[in-house]
Amino acid sequence: MTALKLDNINKFFGSEQILKDINLDVEEGEFVVFVGPSGCGKSTLLRVIAGLENATSGTVSIDGVTVNNIPPAKRGIAMVFQSYALYPHLSVKGNMSLGLKQEGQSASVVNQRVEKATRMLNLHEYLDRRPAGLSGGQRQRVAIGRAIVRDPKLFLFDEPLSNLDAALRMHTRIEIAALHRTLSASMIYVTHDQTEAMTLADTIVVLRDGCIEQVGAPMELYNNPSNRFVASFLGSPAMNFLHHAVPGLAPDQSVGIRPEHLVLHQDGQIGGTVIHVERLGADTNLLIKTDQEEMVTVRLFGQSTTEVGTYIRFGFDAEKAYYFNDSGMRIFP
């Protein structure tokens, strides 16, 4: 069953078009991540789904019902914001239960749902604390708990981990993934972080300049990007793009090679000088300026003694390369 359907969504702010003919189906229980650079329209699209912004044209349907003219509170959605948006004067329990009380739910229903969310998120010892007495990660768990108790048809997450440090982001990301498995709920998650997208999503929607560039499973997009933008956005270190260093390449073409697919070899097709070394422990990244003045990152698994200034040759398997025309669309040899 389709949990969310977007048909030809367009959004203008004055004369500026922010969303351009967005069409998307989200299936029941699916975890969909909107990813793209700042200004691509991903948060605006989420706000249109939530009803916090009105689409200029097009329809939004949730659970088979067109909701364009239905206010946010009655759309059957729950939203988790980057800023937590907790009431400072209420306890954890008060924050999680307030929305249910405003809906007129009975005390027994309120207590049952709060207990369920508390158990899922390990918040028992914090129920009587106010937000000021919680860490950032704990506050975000309370915000997620407040969404869970609503028992929504659709969860919406707007960059919920941006305010957390790296360790907490990873921990909370694991919690959200576990929560999705437990609830089997439909979730839409907005982020600019491609690592979050790759590790959380069933389906990734890549956006640029208000348009959907590609939709697919994480490894499908990683292994089969439809254009240069998608290829460059997913993957860390980012894909290399060469115009001149690869013999036999047409003038209006570029070749994309992921750093892990480049191999040091004395007879390699490409030569260059190491200008920077990133020693990461388990991996080593070499930043190389080729003889044709193009920059390339080579990812080596394990530790390397290579030093800045070393001249090396390297190559790649042509079957693992990606070819693009001058407009950035992928072409096949």
Q: What's residue 136's pLDDT?
A: 85
| Per-residue pLDDT tens over the stretch 95-118 | 999 988 988 889 999 999 999 999
Q: Is 121 a residue whose pLDDT tops 90?
A: no
Q: What confidence category does residue 132 fall into, taking pLDDT thresholds of 50, 70 and 90?
A: very high
- pTM higher than the cut 0.85: yes
> What is the pLDDT, as a whole number, of residue 165?
81
| Same fold? 2-231, 237-331 | no
If we measure between CA atoms, which residue out of 69, 81, 34, 3 comes closest to residue 203? 34
Which residue ranges make up each domain of the chain?
2-231, 237-331
CATH 3.30.420.40, domain 237-331, yes or no: no
pLDDT, tens digit, for every residue of 287-316?
A: 999 999 999 999 999 999 999 999 999 999
In the block, residue with structure tokens 């920059």:
295
Q: Could you read off the pLDDT of 154-168 as tens digits, one per residue?
A: 999 999 888 778 788
Residue 2 burial (CB count, 10 A): 14
177 in Cβ contact with 196 (< 8 Å): no
Rounded Cα distance, 230 and 204, in Å: 11
**Per-residue pLDDT, 56:** 97
The Cα-based distances of 124 to 32, 118, 176, 180 in angstroms read 30, 6, 18, 20
What residues does 216 pair with on adjacent strands?
Answer: 204
Domain 2-231, CATH among 3.20.20.70, 3.40.50.300, 3.30.300.30, 3.40.640.10: 3.40.50.300
Phi, psi of 279 (to 5 degrees): -100, 110
Nearest to 183 by CA among 115, 116, 101: 116
Token reading at 178: 């576990």
pLDDT score at 333: 63
Q: Which amino acid is at 242?
A: L
The pLDDT, as a whole number, for residue 233 is: 94
